[in-house]
Amino acid sequence: MTQEVRFITKNFGKYDPMSIDSYLSIGGFEALKRAVEMDGEDIASVIADAKVKGRGGAAYDMGRKWSQARAVKGDHKLNICNADEGEPCTFKDRELIKNDPFNLIEGMIIGGYTVKAQDGYIYMREEYRHLRPLLLNAIKQCEERGFLGHNILGKGFDYHIHLYSGAGAYVCGEGTALIRSIEGKAGRPRMKPPFIKVSGAFALPTCVNNVESFSIVPHLLMDDEHEYTSYGSGESIGTKLVSVAGNVRNPGVFEVPFGTPVRDIIYDLAKGINGGYGLRLIQFGGASGKITDKRILDVPYTYDDLKAAGVTVGSGAILVIDERTSVLDFLRMTQDFFSHESCGQCTPCREGNRHAKIILKKIADGVATEDDIKTLKKIGSIMTLASLCGLGETAQCATLSAMEIFPETFAVGGAK
């Protein structure tokens, strides 16, 4: 039977999240003390050598990102923690904030030191407002103990953290929309270039990572036994937090080694499908992810293996849907979500989502034509290629993948 591992989550339940003394008692801030004795480029190399990819969904090489951000010239630089966890079925970052807030803060401070930032911003979604007191308390106690503020640990390093809350817009999970929201503007994406690392929040050089990405850093710097790299293989080294939900008996967040079969995650850790129903589909990476069927069950959970099977790791979400929900009903629900969450700024996403919703209803009503099906596919392709941000680029992933996996759903004259 597959067992969870404890690397990123090793502090869970071991200290009082409201007490910095409790965190210090389990070795808190030892990683920061080690970090400030290192060159920032060496810290980036530790992350790169562990092949850590960004855990927000894009899977960009994190060590490389920090090295690039460090190289950007600027008298005042920023780093941002993206805690706008808006991807449906994704709730791993919530658990990290709730159970290990001081570790997140420590990871951000190390990140600030590495990229030469003077200020850090945590952008947290409105739905997590109950966690604001926890983070504000952690920030305050870190300031009182000298881990935040001026001349941290006597190394001439100044760094401050600010907590911002969004209004719950899904699109603000995208980097430039998040930045505009922090600036007090409408949370809508902007064109790139200039890229965020050169001109981000307040037109300052900015490096953005998500909660899980920052949270792994202190553990990596203290990993003298190389436990992390003992998990996984190839380009998928280490462990990953996955959030499993839907029609499973034991929904939750699990830390698994890369290479764990999908079947083991769903049937061992999440205890299988409730009610004894059969499996209809699985969606990976949240609402923006592709869907597949039971053929995925014996595929190892790695970046390369999932990609070869037609899906991606994405945000780490695994949504399990049983036979009580039809594929078409699922797609219409997903389309309703994107139609509501599109900011409306760019034509491909605004109009594409609207027309996709209309065509899916025609399929459900049994009045769709062959031209409608071709148009739906064309809309998805155009949105993927021409939308301004990741919302529009991925909004039709579920539908386009369903066309391949469940072609009977799009049969003219009636959907299944």
What is the tens place of the pLDDT at every residue in 184-240?
999 999 998 999 999 999 999 999 999 999 999 999 999 999 999 999 988 899 999
In this prediction, residue 415 carries a pLDDT of 46
Token code pair at residue 66: 């920090």
Token code pair at residue 143: 């300031």
Report domain extents, the chain.
20-221, 238-322, 327-410
Phi and psi torsions of 65, nearest 5°:
-60, -45
Query: 44 with 67: CB under 8 angstroms?
Result: yes
The whole-chain average pLDDT of the chain stands at: 95
CATH architecture of 20-221: 3-Layer(aba) Sandwich (3.40)
Cα-based distances in Å from 14 to 22, 407, 408: 9, 50, 51
Query: 165 with 157: CB under 8 angstroms?
Result: no
Query: 166 with 178: CB under 8 angstroms?
Result: yes
Cα-based distances in Å from 327 to 72, 323, 333, 353: 47, 9, 10, 18
Domain 327-410 has CATH 1.20.1440.230: yes
Q: Whose structure tokens read 């997903």?
A: 334
Nearest to 356 by CA among 308, 397, 306: 397
Helix (H) or strand (E) holding 292: strand 291-292
Angle formed by the axes of helices 397-405 and 370-386, nearest 10°: 130
Q: Residue 98 and residue 132: Cα distance in Å, rounded?
A: 10
> Which numeric CATH code is attached to 238-322?
3.10.20.600
In the chain, which stretches have pLDDT less than 50?
415-416
Angle at 240 between CA 254 and CA 132, to 5 degrees: 70
Cα-based distances in Å from 27 to 97, 103, 109, 143, 219: 18, 10, 16, 18, 11
Residues contacting residue 156 through CB under 8 Å, at least 6 positions apart: none
